[in-house]
Amino acid sequence: MPEGAWARAGHGIAAFVAGAAILVVEFAAVRLLAPAFGQSVLVWSVVIGLVLVALAVGYALGGRLGERCASTRPLFLAWLLAALWIALAAWQGAALCRALLPRGLPTPGGLPLGFRGGALATLLLFCAPAMLLAMTTPFLLRRDAARGREGRATGRLYAAGTLGSLTGCWLAPLVWLQTLGTALTLAVTAAAVGGLGLLGLLLARSAGAAAPVAPGPPVPPSRRVLALALLAGLAVTVIEFAALRLMSPWFGQSNPIWANVIGTLLLALALGAYAGGRLADRWGGDAATGPGRLGGLLGLAALWLGLAVWCAPALLEWLLPAGVGSMDLLPVAFRGSLVATVLLFGPPLTLLGAVPPMLVRAAARGHPGRVAGAVLAWGTVGGLLGCLGTAPLLVPLLGSRGALLLAALLAAAGAALLGLPARRAPRAALLVGAAAALLGLGWQVAARPALRHHAGQVEELESPYQTVRVVRQRVGLQVPPEDHAPVPALLGVGGEADTLFLRHDEDAETYQSLLLADPERSRRWLTGGRYFEHLALGACFAGLEARERTLRVLLLGYAGGTVHRTLRQVLPPDLRLKVLGVEIDPGVLEVARRHLAHADLEGPGLRLVTGEDARTVVNALPEDERFDLVLVDAYARTNYLPFQLASVEFFAAARRHLAPGGWVGVNVLGNGWRSPVARAVAATMGRALGPTYAVPNPSYPGNVILWAAPGASLGPRLRADLELHPALLPAGHALERLLLRHDPARDGGVVLTDDRSPSDRLADAELGL
């Protein structure tokens, strides 16, 4: 007999906790590995991919074990083992990562720097606990499922697990990792899993309480069932990744938006699983997976998705129209993303969420646990393919719209596997949906229409990381006065110029790079008073050990090369320039070469590393490589200084590569010196490098440049023999007249470490969320 209501409730809680724990471990894994192996798309994909493989193995194992074991004690023993493993990761994970650090800069055509180390660390630290926890749902299913009611038991447990994933998806990146840090988050998770595992052991029933195994050997699910599971899992993952990217030109990819979108999609999946399970039992057996039932649902999902993709831009533009400023955007975007996700993707995800319990109900034949394990495992394999393929391949090749249309086609293919529905309406839905998706995909590939049109937009490119846009606008800027008018020399005078901006995602005001369209103005006005000049001012500091009269610069966050260009334009005439630039997104360089005259900058004085995380490159630098300037101008997902580029450990690593007299400069975007992010970074630099100095940009008050040099007893000093470029005078004045030394006692600031860095949360709070 199946378990009583209390036991079923307990199993639901166990599935919930397992789902939450798996997501927390996944996020913590990415966070733990980032300082050593970076967060490039390929490295991130291999880490999550390996965890998904472990999940698939766990699902399959859990189903088989659940059929054989009379009590739940083996499951909760597995939980204890998982807890121990997670605790070990918390204790020694960082040390293992340091031991696996890659050495030497990447070679062209080779694997990303962090690939091998990241894969090995994931295998050793996180695959085992993920596998053990994944056993939970299929293991418990047989105990919950009465014959003929396997569907609702599957739906209930699956929904509970998905809700747990939703909880983990919110708790981990937004709260725990930001406040507790990585090691403590893992430790808390280990304690929770271990504690509940102990409780489960105490409450475990004897063998007599288990449902009897059906006579005869288990019948494995048909290939059609497994193919449907794979297609559904693939479609769901493609939708999850591509939906976020489709909406990013309006809402961005900040943590709250990400958690909002993924959380809503998980909620829809959970609802679909619950409803699908109950309906599967109602429809009964093979009928559940007949063309008239599941086939119709998949056809409807394909149709909705196919139409939603084309309605999306109009809806998104209505929810978040152009003209909303960067500082006011996040509250509008947060709520708007919820609306858009529910309306555009909620129904298809709900329908796709119904697939696994229907498949289990159809194929159970007295062995629901084993079948559920197989269905979940193959669904996870589909998820793995989606995870590995969507961001790095599908979105750059087809665009996010194309990827979503492909997901619609996958749903239609799943329906086709079940045969054409007999009734007119479901048949029409399937055929129209498939046709719309196919035609739309063809047009998307051929024409590549832009997702969003900004005034003056010249090009839009969807890279593995973001949507990059080049926009040409006539804008006001600060320019050096023709005469030495005194006061305006500090701020420059107002001017106007056609400017090419390289923006990303939802950026309407900020930019990654820019170039004044007129070469002569670019030479005279540089970047019109923007922060690039304040960073490039470092080339004019005294005391740099310009060995062989060469200024060696490490530029992290190279983007389109604006800082590099400015350095070349302001370089003292007695110096040569050598730059090692690191840019994680090759798409940015691609666009810069087409529109920002990047070819002017290429040559023997420039070494560019693309596709790599800047932290990984710094870790891998040869021991004897030295730089006179280390400039950090790296931002991820518009608003965030990557935490692994703003920690004590990072600045300590940068310090090892500083030449005597060298300086580290960091661009911080936010609320000026009042920004808690700026003060946190200053406090962190102070801990690793010594006295840290903040210089505002009066022309663009959101930016602060932080400077620090080990052993410096005075603040940065310009060279006395140097005649500054006229456009650099305001930056020079700001350095000399506005610079403030960070005083930890008075100015505060959280010290950021690799383990604990609330920088994302501070940035979100500054933007009103």
Of 710-729, binders to another protein (CB under 8 A) are: 713-715, 717-721, 723, 729
Rounded-to-integer distance, Cα 327 and Cα 333, Å: 11
- DSSP category for residue 632: E
What is the C-alpha to C-alpha distance for residues 727 and 200, in angstroms, rounded to an integer? 70
Query: Which residue number, 42 or 329, has a Cβ lying nearer to another protein?
Result: 329
Is 311 an interacting residue with respect to another protein (CB under 8 A)? no
Q: Pattern 346-385, binding to another protein, x per CB under 8 A?
A: xx--x-----------------------------------
Task: Establish if 291 lies at the interface with another protein (CB under 8 A).
Answer: no
Q: How far is the CB of 488 from another protein (least distance, A)?
A: 10
Give CA–CA dist 461/446, Å, rounded: 14
Residues 664-683 touching another protein, rule: CB under 8 A, are 671-674
Q: How far apart are CA 435 and CA 433, in angstroms?
A: 5
- What would the DSSP string read from start to end of 569-599? HH--TT-EEEEEEEES-HHHHHHHHHHS-GG
Exactly one of 127, 190, 431, 694 binds another protein (CB under 8 A); that residue is: 694
Q: Which of 133, 174, 288, 437 binds another protein (CB under 8 A)?
A: 288
Q: What angle do CA 13, 17, 22 make, to 5 degrees?
A: 150
- Taking the complex as a whole, the smallest distance from the CB of residue 670 to another protein amounts, in Å, to 8
Taking the complex as a whole, the smallest distance from the CB of residue 694 to another protein amounts, in Å, to: 7
Could you tell me if 349 and 218 are in contact, meaning their C-beta atoms sit under 8 angstroms apart? no
Residue with Cβ nearer another protein (287 or 438):
287
Binding residue (CB under 8 A) for another protein from 99, 422, 542, 599: 542
Which residue's CB is nearer to another protein, number 607 or number 741?
741
The answer to whether 325 contacts another protein (rule: CB under 8 A) is yes
In terms of C-beta density within 10 A (0-12 exposed, 13-18 middle, 19 or more buried), how is residue 251 classed? buried
Residue 573 binding another protein, by CB under 8 A? no
CB count, 10 Å around CB of 743?
14
Closest CA to 134 of 491, 504, 384: 384
Contacts of 736 (CB under 8 A, 6+ apart): 718
Query: Mind giving me the DSSP string for 531-544?
Result: HHHHHHGGGGBTT-
Q: Are 527 and 495 in contact (CB under 8 A)?
A: no
Query: With respect to another protein, which residue has the nearer C-beta, 16 or 345?
Result: 345
Binding segment toward another protein, per CB under 8 A, in 175-183, 468-476, 485-493, 594-602: 485-493
Q: In angstroms, give the least distance from the CB of 5 to another protein.
A: 20
Q: Is 539 in the site for another protein (CB under 8 A)?
A: no
The interface with another protein within residues 746-765 (CB under 8 A) comprises 746
Angle at Cα 614 formed by Cα 560 and Cα 632, nearest 5°?
65
Q: Is residue 148 within the footprint of another protein (CB under 8 A)?
A: no
Q: Which of 89, 229, 257, 320 binds another protein (CB under 8 A)?
A: 320
Least separation, in Å, of the C-beta of 308 and another protein?
13
Interaction residues for another protein, span 254-273 (CB under 8 A) = 268, 271-272
| Rounded-to-integer distance, Cα 124 and Cα 93, Å | 9
Choose one: 343-351, 372-380, 470-478, 496-504; the region binding another protein (CB under 8 A). 343-351
321 binds another protein (CB under 8 A): yes
Selection from 368, 366, 442, 432 nearest residue 402 by Cα: 442
Element (H, E) at 693: strand 692-696
Instruction: Fill in the per-residue mask, 496 to 535: x = in contact with another protein (CB under 8 A), - = not in contact.
Output: ----------------------------------------
User: Can residue 336 be called a binding residue for another protein (CB under 8 A)?
Assistant: yes
What Cα–Cα distance (Å) separates residue 160 from each residue in 151, 297, 661? 14, 22, 59
